[in-house]
Chain A
């Protein structure tokens, strides 16, 4: 399965991947890798996840530490930083979570990705496709 849209993991999914004990998120990531899905995460999602994990992110590090890894990190650069900042400012608050949300929205819109999240309310009213990862 390599013709589908990129799957964009937000910080809530990255945190769950690192520390969830039920294995749901790990199983999802493993299965997606096996199917050849394109897994991406924004640089700011990675930063927020690391902050929430209080720097205990051994497994996330393993996913992203080399170019042959399965998770593509979408950088914050001169190509998108100004747009991300401007988008965050529209929420009326400029803090890390708002910046992460802005980069996720910006990337998802640009590359046609589906956002995977445990916090779907964050994306209400936004024009991106979202998959709620919470248990049904």
Chain B
């Protein structure tokens, strides 16, 4: 999802477009041409999920009783970062 079709989109717009493209198997490049408000109507809640991601993450940690400052968790986060870096190196692929 890195083509010029997404150049004018905010990070939130890109997330919503990408999530809708994945859900409906629609080319993300086509969705990126639509007004953001129209995209939101196709996938209600996705924009809120993006905008509230920090709160969602914090709530998730609280539910699991995870102390985000613990050494164990910090080590797990470092590993997560490494995994995401490896994932990003797998290539751009395509988005529906």
Q: Which residues of A contact B (CB under 8 A)?
A: 1-7, 22-24, 26-38, 40, 59, 62-63, 66-70, 72, 74, 79-80, 110-114, 129, 131, 133
Contacts and interface: CB of A to CB of B under 8 A. Distances in A.
Interface string B1-25: 1100010000110110011011101
A67 B46 contact: yes
B44 A67 contact: yes
Given A24-B79, A34-B57, A59-B64, A68 B96 contact: no
24 contacts: A1-B84, A3-B18, A22-B72, A23-B76, A24-B80, A26-B61, A28-B76, A28-B84, A30-B61, A31-B84, A34-B57, A36-B11, A37-B84, A67-B44, A68-B52, A70-B53, A79-B25, A111-B22, A111-B25, A111-B94, A112-B95, A113-B93, A129-B91, A133-B83
A62 B11 contact: no
